[in-house]
Chain A
Amino acid sequence: MIQAEHVSFSYSDQGPTVQDVSFHIEKGDFVAILGANGAGKTTTVRLIDGLIRPTQGKVLIHGADTATSPVSERARRVGFLFQNPDRQICKNTVREEILFGLKTVRGDESEEALNARCEEVLKDFGFSGDEEPFSLSRGQRQRVALASILAVEPEVLILDEPTTGLDYLECCHIMDRIRRMNREQQVTVVMVCHDMEVVLDYAQRALVMAGGKLLADGPVREIFRDAELMEKASILPPQMIGLSLRLGEGFEQADTPDAMAEAVLARRGEGGKRHEN
């Protein structure tokens, strides 16, 4: 549903920030874009939504070139969650904020339908609706931003470092909600994320970038197990994968602490000796 065909992008005063990148993303994919600072990740997701236009090549969403239609018309289908929720939130209550998003892109529907949808989302996210966004914590504001984007039921969700500055629980809240949308409603997710543990926990597929080029594209676990690739892209794999690589044979599947513990116990024979007391 998202096709990038030989996309390049450069700012006028600098060298290319994205160079000849091609990939296809299917409906329901959960893709993470990985790479060091300056690898071109953020530029790539902005290119996908057409916030910036490729200097070469093209990006197609549902076969339509994103350069030929305004970004704002795409908002019904493509939601974009930025790192900083404060740039998005512009209303005084959470309810108004969500309604504003709904009216902007689903203005053709009846007032009652939109109100009903808004209440549904509020309930789902556990907001009363009367909260003032700016008195909430950063993590909660990020949830408000996510709620107002998901309210319009987009088919594609683009996330640019959505968990930066959030604590662990807030991070889980946001990511769990996104995974649910992905699994239950087949929402396609494209995410830029620096936290490899989050990537391992949530994404299925990874695009690896370095110096504006696409180095690899494949299932997250395979990508992380490719030591040479990780080195090239300046990525440190998640801890359990790093550990399983060091331990070698018999630990290939151990990418969570539980799986690793199981593998260790299995190696000790008979599932390990259990002390019941």
Chain B
Amino acid sequence: MKTNLFQYVPGNSVIHRMNPVTKILLTIVICVAAFLSGNLFYLAGLLVVDLLIGIIAGVAGKTWTIFKGLLKIAIFLFVLQILLVRNGTPVLWIITDEGLLTAARVVIRLVVVCMPLALVLAVTRVTDLTNSLVQVLHVPYQYAFTLSTAIRFVPQFLEEMAGIMEAQTARGVAFDKARGLKKFSMILPLCAPLLISSVRRTDQTAAAAEVRGFRLRTRTSGYKKYPFTAVDLGAVLFCALLLAGAILLK
């Protein structure tokens, strides 16, 4: 009913079909590239790449939502930066050219880096992500399981939170009239029971995994295999291109 921001969106795009490991590689490369290069044009180019990936994957709407969310944080950081940086020549009031540049770099980097991190979960099943980590990269299964449980936990937690807010609103707690920080401070005291029930649940989830052979699982247990295909080769080449660009356009 509520579409969760980080929840998987089924699809059959090129991005969906890519090997999960390649998707992780692409994410990491975008992050690294964003920090290697300080060139504003190059960074803007990376941002376009981020948005294009979202559009190709057929999750344009979600990409836009993530982008808008990040933009709010970005604007806040931008203002903070231009007020804090003292070097360079003043342009207007206490704002310097150096400050503007640094601020622009910081916020574009932030958006560029966060977008693929969020997108990768929207276009990859968590199970594929962890299974491929185990199969291809030989990550111990216990770690991969912890990761997937943590991710699985997010929508569960949000569902529970929405349920609690609804129940409290119905008994007269004015959640429906509060906004922003006020709302946040109202939710906080309610988190105690939420945490108790979550911890109780985690233990049971561990038990549920155990009685279905958690300990028997090996690297090769996964039913689905994750071969590398031409799409992945293309993506790797694209990654190399991005890195080269970052180094050239320092």
Residues of A within 8 A of B (CB): 11, 13-14, 49, 51, 70-73, 75-76, 78-80, 82, 84, 86-90, 101, 104-105, 134, 148-149, 152
On whether the beta carbons of B171 and A149 are closer than 8 Å, the reply is yes
Q: A78 vs B170: C-alpha distance in the bound complex, in angstroms? A: 8
Chain B's closest residue to A78 (CB) is B170
On whether the beta carbons of A70 and B167 are closer than 8 Å, the reply is no
Q: A11-B1, A101-B171 are in contact. Are A71 and B176 (CB under 8 A)?
A: yes
8 A-B pairs with the lowest CB-CB distances in the bound complex, closest first = A75-B172, A80-B170, A105-B172, A87-B167, A104-B172, A72-B174, A70-B176, A88-B167
- For B190, what are the chain A residues with a Cβ–Cβ distance below 8 Å? 90
Assuming A73-B172, A104-B173, A152-B172, what are 12 further A-B pairs, CB within 8 angstroms? Answer: A13-B3, A49-B170, A70-B174, A72-B173, A72-B176, A75-B169, A79-B171, A84-B163, A86-B197, A90-B193, A104-B172, A134-B193
Chain A's closest residue to B166 (CB) is A51
Chain B's closest residue to A134 (CB) is B196
Q: A105 vs B174: C-alpha distance in the bound complex, in angstroms? A: 10
B175 at the interface (CB under 8 A from A): yes
* Chain B interface category by residue count: 20 to 34
Chain A's closest residue to B197 (CB) is A86
Q: A101 vs B169: C-alpha distance in the bound complex, in angstroms? A: 11
Q: A13 vs B197: C-alpha distance in the bound complex, in angstroms? A: 30
Taking a contact as CB atoms closer than 8 A, the residue among A11, A84, A88 that contacts B171 in the complex is A88
On whether the beta carbons of A51 and B193 are closer than 8 Å, the reply is no
A-B contact count (CB 8 A): 73
Q: A76 vs B189: C-alpha distance in the bound complex, in angstroms? A: 22
On whether the beta carbons of B170 and A51 are closer than 8 Å, the reply is yes
B215 at the interface (CB under 8 A from A): no
B89 at the interface (CB under 8 A from A): no
B212 at the interface (CB under 8 A from A): no
- For A75, what are the chain B residues with a Cβ–Cβ distance below 8 Å? 169-172
On whether the beta carbons of A89 and B193 are closer than 8 Å, the reply is yes
B160 at the interface (CB under 8 A from A): yes
Q: A122 vs B93: C-alpha distance in the bound complex, in angstroms? A: 65
B85 at the interface (CB under 8 A from A): no
Q: A84 vs B170: C-alpha distance in the bound complex, in angstroms? A: 13
Q: A11 vs B167: C-alpha distance in the bound complex, in angstroms? A: 20
Q: A75 vs B167: C-alpha distance in the bound complex, in angstroms? A: 11
**B41-97 with Cβ < 8 A to chain A:** none
How far is the CB of A192 from the nearest CB of chain B, in Å? Answer: 14
Taking a contact as CB atoms closer than 8 A, the residue among A72, A78, A82, A134 that contacts B175 in the complex is A72
- For A79, what are the chain B residues with a Cβ–Cβ distance below 8 Å? 170-171
- For B170, what are the chain A residues with a Cβ–Cβ distance below 8 Å? 49, 51, 71-72, 75, 78-80, 82
- For A80, what are the chain B residues with a Cβ–Cβ distance below 8 Å? 167, 170-171
Chain A's closest residue to B190 (CB) is A90
Chain B 204-225, CB-CB to A under 8 Å as 1, else 0, gives 0000000000000000000000
On whether the beta carbons of A101 and B167 are closer than 8 Å, the reply is no
Q: List 26 A-B contacts (CB under 8 A).
A: A14-B1, A49-B170, A70-B174, A70-B176, A70-B177, A71-B170, A71-B176, A72-B173, A72-B174, A72-B175, A75-B169, A82-B163, A82-B167, A82-B170, A84-B163, A84-B167, A86-B197, A87-B164, A87-B166, A88-B164, A104-B172, A104-B173, A105-B171, A105-B172, A148-B171, A149-B171
